[in-house]
Amino acid sequence: MDADLLRRRLAVMAEMTHLRRFVVIGRGKSGTTWLSRIFRSHPEVFLRGERKLVEKTADYTPILRHLLDPGTMAAWGAHSSFRLGLQPERMGPELWRLVDDYLAAATLVATGTEVTGLTHLGDKLALLHPEDAAAILPHLDRAYPGYRAIHIVRDGRDVAVSGFFHVYRNRAAEGDEPSPLVRRVEKVLEGGGGRLFTDEHLRFRAQSWNDVTTAVDGLLRPALGERYLLLRYEDLLADTRASIERTFAFVGVGCSPQLVSDILEATSFKKMSGGRRAGEQDPKSGRRKGQAGDWKNYFTPRDRALFAALAQPALERFGYEPDASWAEAR
């Protein structure tokens, strides 16, 4: 390794100690990317994308996940020279923080970002599995003492639709011969009838959304108290200015009306989608539609019944439905 580059990264790590930490957390496809982009647009905030150091969103082993397993750390400590009063079984979150901070410093150096101009350093955790929430979130306050958490929640039915179109985009780009999933989705889009989901797909998405959102809220609300903010995607969509001002105030970063206006322009659906207005769909775009309630265009009676059976508790917990009567509507 270049010795000068290493020295610069370590120097930036030392400078980072004054930065206030916060985390944007949510179930995948709930608006974590949009909210992260809003924060990145603030000149005093540096927010990194998903690094997947401890969270699992694909078929791989996150490189730092073992640090959060006390049993693994205890076994390591029993065979290392770090046993002398250091409690290696409890050092996992601190070691995670050191590696994570080094990676942050490397990113800051690579992008030419001056730490002296920053006040806050943020991270993004988009979770798909409740076991990730249980394994990661209890350790965050030890790794980042005093951090603040913004938990963004989106109607799980829209999360299911958005997630399914994400899979569709990936499958459609794989080759010339469309897969059965691609053919089914395109038939639905062309008005040919049929279901967007299979039972298996919808069961996974309903259960995942219910369990992840409930786990995050259940773990962080009592643990963090006033350092925890629940933000609904639909509120961010309906009154983006007020939501930006609220989240900025929550993490403690200053903003002027003009700065908020600039951020609104830079992170609008029209800007991020290449010119489309919210509601104008491009099923093969990562910024597909930008509209709440789109699930009503795709859920069949079967989908309503399946989703309610698995995710009704979270729909009620987060204020999306007062009861299960929606599942019987036609």
pLDDT of residue 167: 73
User: Has residue 244 got a pLDDT over 70?
Assistant: yes
In sequence order, what are the beta bridge partners of 20?
A: 120
Q: Is residue 327 part of a domain?
A: no
pLDDT of residue 274: 63
pLDDT of residue 84: 58
pLDDT of residue 48: 81
Query: Which domain covers residue 262, as residue numbers?
Result: 3-319
Question: Span 89-95, mean pLDDT?
Answer: 83
DSSP string, 119-182: SEEEEEEEE--HHHHHHHHHHHHHHSTT-EEEEEE--HHHHHHHHHHHHHHHHHTS-SS--HHH
pLDDT of residue 279: 54
Question: Span 225-248, mean pLDDT?
Answer: 97
Q: Is residue 325 part of a domain?
A: no
pLDDT of residue 60: 65
Distances (CA, A) of 287 to 18, 73, 302: 35, 41, 27
User: Has residue 213 got a pLDDT over 90?
Assistant: yes
Segment 13-44, tens digit of pLDDT = 999 999 999 999 999 889 999 999 999 999 99
Q: Which of 29, 5, 17 is nearest to 205 (CA)?
A: 29
Instruction: Identify the band that residue 66 occupies on the pLDDT scale cut at 50, 70 and 90.
Output: confident
pLDDT of residue 168: 72
CA gap 18, 119 in Å, rounded: 7
Number of folded domains in the chain?
1
Segment 50-60, tens digit of pLDDT = 666 766 656 66
pLDDT of residue 268: 83
CA gap 134, 298 in Å, rounded: 32
Sign of CA dihedral 70, 75, 78, 82: negative
Say if CB 281 and CB 297 are below 8 A apart: no
pLDDT of residue 90: 78
Q: Please state whether 6 falls in left (phi above 0), alpha (psi between -120 and 50) or beta.
A: alpha
Length of the chain (residues) = 330
Q: Is residue 305 part of a domain?
A: yes
Say if CB 152 and CB 25 are below 8 A apart: yes
Q: Is residue 50 part of a domain?
A: yes
Higher pLDDT, 82 or 270: 270
Say if CB 123 and CB 48 are below 8 A apart: yes
How many Cβ atoms from other residues are within 10 Å of residue 43's Cβ? Answer: 13
| Mean pLDDT lowest among 36-45, 70-79, 217-226 | 70-79
User: Has residue 281 got a pLDDT over 70?
Assistant: no
Q: Is residue 97 part of a domain?
A: yes
- Prediction pTM value: 0.89
CA gap 132, 135 in Å, rounded: 5
Percent share of the chain, pLDDT over 70 = 82
DSSP string, 241-265: HHHHHHHHHHHT----HHHHHHHHH
pLDDT of residue 215: 97
Q: Is residue 328 part of a domain?
A: no
Q: What is the helix (H) or strand (E) element at residue 101, kind and residue range?
A: helix 92-111
| Mean pLDDT lowest among 20-34, 70-84, 130-144 | 70-84
CATH of the domain at 35: 3.40.50.300
Q: Is residue 324 part of a domain?
A: no
Q: Is residue 69 part of a domain?
A: yes
Instruction: Identify the band that residue 316 occupies on the pLDDT scale cut at 50, 70 and 90.
Output: very high
